[in-house]
Amino acid sequence: MFGEIHRAKHNSMETHEKDLKIGLAIAARHINAYGDKYWPIFERLENDLETKKHRANRLKRRLKFAEIDDDPNLD
């Protein structure tokens, strides 16, 4: 069951990351075409993407330790 929940959350994270990347591409095109007016949107999306990646990496490291703690062979 945990594996199913983990996969569902993982897929959701990937989808959100993909959305942020698409948004960044759109914002970049708008900046290129219309000027710096869209720069704050670009920065926000870029920051959100970096934060999401950083959090995902931190969570992955902690979950790896949690799997070790749950290993019955360690007792």
Q: What is the pLDDT of residues 17-53, one digit of tens each?
A: 999 999 999 999 999 999 999 999 999 999 999 999 9
Cα 21 to Cα 12, 16, 42, distances in angstroms: 14, 9, 10
Return the higher-pLDDT residue of 17 and 4. Answer: 17
**pLDDT higher than threshold 50 for residue 54:** yes
C-alpha span between 61 and 52 (Å, rounded): 14
Q: pTM of this prediction?
A: 0.66
Instruction: Tell me the pLDDT band of 74, cut-offs 50, 70 and 90.
Output: low
Q: What is the pLDDT of residues 9-18, one digit of tens each?
A: 556 667 789 9
